[in-house]
Amino acid sequence: EKKTEAVQPSIQASDPLPYAERAYHPNEVARSQGKLVVDVEWYLTQQILPPIDRLCEPIDGTSTAELAERLGLDRSKFHHRRTEGDSSRDLCAYVPMCQMEDSDRFKGTRNLDITCTKCAVKSAFPGVVNWEKNQSGLLCPNCGVEYWGAGNAASCFARLSNVYCLQVREDKKRYYKGTLKCDDSSCKTETQQQSIIGNICLSRGCQGRLQPEFSEKDLYTQLKFYQSLFDVTRKRTRDSTESPLQFPGDKEHSYEKVMDLMSQLTSREVENSKYNWVPFKFFEAAFGGAKDKKSVIG
């Protein structure tokens, strides 16, 4: 097998071999018995650092050089990657989602609609507490029957979980459909195609850009909205600033049991989405134990 020397991420005229000549098929790397190793530095610089840098750019105190150092790269090579003006403008306008009001954070999300089996009226599920009527969210906001007309807590949970799962399935289907819409208000282009030169609009003469109709961020925000509806902890936190909700008789335990089960279901869906989360095991599996060996692009 042909051995190659590791080179810097940027191709220089003095480099002994360009990257095209250092590329090997994965099967060749596997058969080399450790003589050919993936160029960890190249992948970290070209494919791992750029998206992490874009995600962390609005966070105060971060820089490309700092992130590069955390990844084990030489920070001096990335000292001038960001411009101070762009970073300052972004930081001034940026508000973390966790600090937003629910009305702003979940703007544009669709409600979880439940149909009461007694009055047959479809209403948006208000959450753990219906603050407009100062009653539990498990009471129909129209007729006031408990469990939205279901016979007991178990039946209510079954109905809520079925409605939730069907609605999440529709949200995922909408995301995977991959519809793109032009951001120019005068252009009505909707397509699933994309130009080979980027996200420019496919309509002749239009200067707009194609944007996802329902992006991965929109899907994640929708899942977080569902999760917030059944978050009993949020309800208790709000109770500390407003008058606590009084449940009739011994209903509080059964009501919270339904909410806890739904909270587990919605939290599991959010966790499975893995949005903006890269597990540490990924780096161990991809780049572990390759520091002391010669590197190539596999």
Average pLDDT, the chain: 78
Cα–Cα distances in Å, from 36 out to 20, 39, 47, 284? 15, 9, 20, 18
This prediction's pTM: 0.61
Q: Is the pLDDT of residue 286 over 60?
A: yes
Q: Label residue 248 exposed, middle or buried (CB < 10 Å: 0-12, 13-18, 19+).
A: exposed
Instruction: Please tell me the distance from the alpha carbon of residue 202 to that of residue 286, in angstroms, as a whole number.
Output: 38
When pLDDT is averaged across residues 152-173 and rounded to a whole number, the result is 95
Number of DSSP helices (H) and strands (E) in the chain, helices first: 11, 7
Residues 6+ apart with CB under 8 A from 203: 182, 187, 189
Dump pLDDT digits (tens) for 101-111: 877 888 889 99
Residues 6+ apart with CB under 8 A from 178: 192, 212
Which sequence spans correspond to the domains of the chain? 27-77, 152-178+214-283
Residue type (1 letter), 171: D
Q: Using alpha carbons, select from 190, 161, 186 the residue that is nearest to residue 263.
A: 161
Q: What percent of the chain has pLDDT over 90?
A: 30
| Long-range residue pairs from 50-54, CB within 8 A, at least 24 positions apart, any chain | 53/81, 53/82
Tokens of 144: 């006031």
State residue 245's pLDDT score: 53
